[in-house]
Amino acid sequence: MKLYMHPVSTTSRPVLLFIADHGLEVEEQVVDLMTGEHMQPAYRAINPSGIVPMLEDDDFRLGESSAILKYLADKVGSPTYPTGLRERARVNEVMDWLNTNLYREYGYNLVYPQIFPHYKRRTAESQDETVAVGEERSRRWLEVLDRHIIGPDSPFLCGQQITIADYLGAGILTLGDTIGCTFADYPNVQRWLANMRALPNWPKVHGVFDGMVAAFSAGTYRAI
Ligand SMILES: N[C@@H](CCC(=O)N[C@@H](CS)C(=O)NCC(=O)O)C(=O)O
């Protein structure tokens, strides 16, 4: 198998961590988002959407980090994607919730406009408004994550065992490292993220990302 990816990418890191944790033989091919390689014809021929990650398994190609995690977990029979009807439905629910509710506001309105020039709004007023609304709406979702999805008793998003929802969610939440998010108002989120960061393969997979975080550390940002 081969994974087209970028090591700092919010949606590549969960797949890279899953691959490392499961000791999978997957060739990792960097698509250089910084130089626009993902928009060049060669990569667009592989993924017309021009985004990473993208998995290749012989002649089968699969995009979308959530779908890739599910595919890999099923392929190797990983307990991180339980097969029980309701247990699996819960994992699917949390993954959809993360992707469609939290990531939309937190990623695209709070974090990305502050760190990536092509997401920055055209006027200062519009930028301030976007980021303020991004924070407000992210807080709404973080409260749900903290109190209801994780709660005081669970080490992971779907209960006592780690699932692929944790991989996806930790990639999204740690994006906030770039702007200094500490989640001080969300103790269960902090505890869960600490559990994820304690995974043995976390530092190795996040080395390049941590370098990017350090590069952003001198800036001033609106964070949570
Ligand atoms: N929904 C997709 C999102 C993938 C995505 O947006 N990837 C980013 C990197 S984190 C990317 O390739 N961006 C390039 C671009 O938007 O031009 C997934 O979960 O895989």
Residue 88, pLDDT score: 98
* Residue showing tokens 């924070």: 135
Helix (H, G, I), strand (E, B) or coil at 52: coil
Higher pLDDT, 93 or 34: 93
Pocket flag, ligand 1, residue 47 (CB < 6 Å): no
Which of these three, 28, 49, 76, is where a domain ends?
76
Cα distance between the two ends of the chain: 38
How far does the centroid of ligand 1 lie from the alpha carbon of residue 153, in Å? 33
How far does the centroid of ligand 1 lie from the alpha carbon of residue 33, in Å? 10
Rounded CA-CA distance 173/102 in Å is 9
Question: Mean per-residue pLDDT for 104-129?
Answer: 95
Pocket flag, ligand 1, residue 131 (CB < 6 Å): no
Pocket test for ligand 1, best of 52, 66, 167 (most atoms within 8 A of CB): 52
Q: In what order do the strands lie in the sheet with 54-57?
A: 27-30, 2-5, 54-57, 60-63
Rounded CA-CA distance 213/8 in Å is 9
Q: Say yes or no to pLDDT of 135 above 90.
A: yes
Question: Mean per-residue pLDDT for 122-145?
Answer: 97
Per-residue CA distances from 224 to 137, 143, 183 (Å)? 11, 12, 6
Full residue range of the structural domain in which residue 52 is found? 2-76
Decide the pairing of beta strands 27-30 and 2-5: parallel
Q: Are residues 42 and 107 in the same domain?
A: no
| Mean pLDDT, all residues of the chain | 97
Q: Are residues 116 and 208 in the same domain?
A: yes
Give pLDDT tens digits for 190-213.
999 999 999 999 999 999 999 999
Q: How confident is the model at residue 218 (pLDDT cuts 50, 70, 90)?
A: confident
SS (H, E, C) 94-158: HHHHHHHHHHHHHHHHHHHHHHCHHHCCCCHHHHHHHHHHHHHHHHHHHHHHHHHHHCCCCCECC
Q: Is the peptide bond before 53 cis (omega within 30 degrees of 0)?
A: yes
Question: Mean per-residue pLDDT for 117-128?
Answer: 94
Question: Mean per-residue pLDDT for 174-195?
Answer: 98
Residue 15 amino acid letter: V
Residue nearest to atom 18 of ligand 1 (CA): 64
Give pLDDT tens digits for 17-59.
999 999 999 999 999 998 999 999 999 999 999 999 999 999 9
- CATH number for the domain spanning 127: value is 1.20.1050.10
Residue 144 amino acid letter: V
Q: Are residues 192 and 152 in the same domain?
A: yes
Residue 123, pLDDT score: 96
Pocket test for ligand 1, best of 44, 51, 100, 104 (most atoms within 8 A of CB): 51
Pocket flag, ligand 1, residue 38 (CB < 6 Å): yes
Give pLDDT tens digits for 152-164.
999 999 999 999 9
Q: Are residues 96 and 50 in the same domain?
A: no
Pocket flag, ligand 1, residue 11 (CB < 6 Å): yes
Q: How confident is the model at residue 186 (pLDDT cuts 50, 70, 90)?
A: very high
Count of domains observed in the chain: 2
Residue 12, pLDDT score: 98
Q: Are residues 97 and 49 in the same domain?
A: no
Residue 105, pLDDT score: 97
Per-residue CA distances from 38 to 7, 44, 48, 79, 94 (Å)? 14, 7, 9, 33, 29
Q: Residue 40 domain-assigned?
A: yes
Among the atoms of ligand 1, which is closest to the Cα of residue 10? Answer: 10
